[in-house]
Amino acid sequence: MDTPAPAAVLAAPADANLALVLDVLPALAVILITAAVCGRLATMMMQPRVLGEMVAGVLLGPTLFGALFPDAQKAVFPADARPVLYVLSTIGLTLYMFLVGAGMDHAAAPPGEGRRAAVLAASGVLPSLLLGMVTGALLWGTLSRADVPRLQFALFVGGALSLTAFPMLARILYERNLENSPLGRLSLLAASVDDALAWCLLAVLSALHLGSGMGGAVRTIVLAVVFAAVTLLVVSRLLRPLGREFARTGEFGPTMMYAAVLVPLVGGWLTDWIGVYSVFGGFVAGLAMPRDAAFRRALHERMMGVVSTLLLPVFFAFSGLNTDLGGITGGTMLLALLLIMAAGFSGKYFGCSLAMRSLGFGRRESYAVGALMNARGLMILIFINIGLAQGMITRELFAMLVLVAVITTAGALPLYKLALPERLEQREKDVPLGVPVQ
């Protein structure tokens, strides 16, 4: 009597749920090990750990792992495990943006910060959008799908290049303890405006591409504004007793933990339903949390480790599974990549730097903020994943924009340090917003 091979026994458990667990857990283990190694290598190279995790996601996709060991990649990331990874990545991204919003110290905001952030946001969006549109119009016949009009394609490229990677920027600032510094706060506020505008543009493009028309896009934008208003004006009041209870007891109890998980998940679900993606629901939910500084610190300590270590790397891996850099070959494709890279970099870096100078900031501050605003990785990955899923872009353009995400983000921290060395960075943490660092 023949004895079945161990692999055959393990490959077909009787319980379908157990089979799914046996598919998902090895995938998570591979993702976390790869993210830990690449993150460590990134920090050794004086880069933010999150950049290494993003590169880890690309390496696990068809570019390296799938190209060298295709059978092994299919075994590690089987088709039935990918929807589970998508759900985990979405939850992680939503909770991370919630923690970013909850960590912003609005009580310390000086007068005029909103105006400065609006000027900086406009300087980051408009040049990148215009340069991206010109580049997209030039490359329409080379990189576009046949069913996508030139204007829609140009707007998509411009919108993608106008993004700042808000979660990645936040994580860079958190790792350097700069999230509540003057430049850090201004960059975060401006980046949130940039990304909101880009998502409104994507809502319009999606509505036009999918056939729901401008009416669908207007509905999405109006509902997003209503959601933000209700959350910040009504839900925030309902959450205030949590802050008072924490101030009284000093303990982050179960009720607070339930609220800290439930509020951003419901907000993410609502904004997903609206059509502006769950990350903005999570961020607005974070802004609505009690403003007590001790409460925010306790919330961050309870949740950030699990979210950033377990869930965010899953998103990078899921994006990497759709990225194949092997399609970028030949002189035409390389020239197209260089044009897109130049448009993306120059629009953000010089646009934001010049705007900061016009606001009266010092040269070092201005170029430091231009460098930070040029970090683009996470949000552009989300943006182009949606474009690819809806058939608005080709896989070749997707791969090029992934490279833009990696390279511009990798350049952000070195350019920031070049403009603002460590001795001046420490001073910046104690300088009121608007006072130039010499």
Q: Is residue 52 part of a domain?
A: no
Torsion angle, alpha carbons of 267, 272, 276, 280, to 10:
30
Whether the per-residue pLDDT at 432 is higher than 70: the answer is no
Least confident of 72-76, 313-317, 379-383: 379-383
CATH at 198: 1.20.1530.20
Question: In one letter, which amino acid is 419?
Answer: A
Scored b (16 or more CB within 10 A) or e, 199-216 reads bbbbbbbbbbbeeeeeeb
Averaged pLDDT for residues 124-129: 90
Least confident of 118-132, 141-155, 199-213: 199-213
**Distances from the Cα of 106 to the Cα of 50, 264, 299, angstroms:** 26, 19, 16
d(C-alpha 61, C-alpha 183), whole Å? 35
Q: Which of 368, 364, 361 is nearest to 436 (CA)?
A: 361
According to the 3-state scheme, what is the secondary structure of 372-413?
A: HHCCCHHHHHHHHHHHHHCCCCCHHHHHHHHHHHHHHHHHHH
First to last CA, the chain: 83
d(C-alpha 13, C-alpha 20), whole Å? 10
433 confidence band (pLDDT: 50, 70, 90):
very low
Q: Is residue 7 part of a domain?
A: no
Tell me what the pLDDT averaged over the chain comes to. 82
Residue 184: predicted pLDDT: 75
Q: Do 32 and 310 contact (CB within 8 A), yes or no?
A: yes
Residue 211: predicted pLDDT: 59
Residue 261: predicted pLDDT: 93
For residue range 343-374, list pLDDT tens digits in order: 989 998 999 899 888 877 788 888 888 888 88
Residue 9: predicted pLDDT: 45
d(C-alpha 147, C-alpha 263), whole Å? 40
Q: Do 230 and 274 contact (CB within 8 A), yes or no?
A: no
pTM attached to this predicted model: 0.76
| φ, ψ of residue 291 in degrees (nearest 5) | -85, -5
| φ, ψ of residue 15 in degrees (nearest 5) | -85, 120
8 confidence band (pLDDT: 50, 70, 90):
very low
For residue range 209-267, list pLDDT tens digits in order: 765 666 766 787 788 889 989 999 999 999 999 988 998 888 888 889 999 999 999 99
> Hey, how many other C-beta atoms are within 10 angstroms of the C-beta on 112?
11
20 confidence band (pLDDT: 50, 70, 90):
confident
Exposed (0-12), middle (13-18) or buried (19+): which is 240, by Cβ within 10 Å? middle
Question: What's the residue count for the chain?
Answer: 438
d(C-alpha 125, C-alpha 348), whole Å? 7
| φ, ψ of residue 392 in degrees (nearest 5) | -90, -25
Residue 402: predicted pLDDT: 86
Averaged pLDDT for residues 129-138: 93
Residue 181 is classified by DSSP as: S
Q: Is residue 410 part of a domain?
A: yes
Q: Which of 51, 89, 342 is nearest to 169 (CA)?
A: 51
If one counts the domains in the chain, the total is 1
Q: Is residue 415 part of a domain?
A: yes
Averaged pLDDT for residues 137-144: 89
Residue 164: predicted pLDDT: 82
Q: Do 68 and 75 contact (CB within 8 A), yes or no?
A: no
d(C-alpha 284, C-alpha 236), whole Å? 10
d(C-alpha 120, C-alpha 186), whole Å? 8
d(C-alpha 61, C-alpha 75), whole Å? 13
SS3 content of the chain, % helix, strand, coil (to 5): 80, 0, 20
Parent domain of 407: 84-428
Residue 79: predicted pLDDT: 87
390 confidence band (pLDDT: 50, 70, 90):
confident
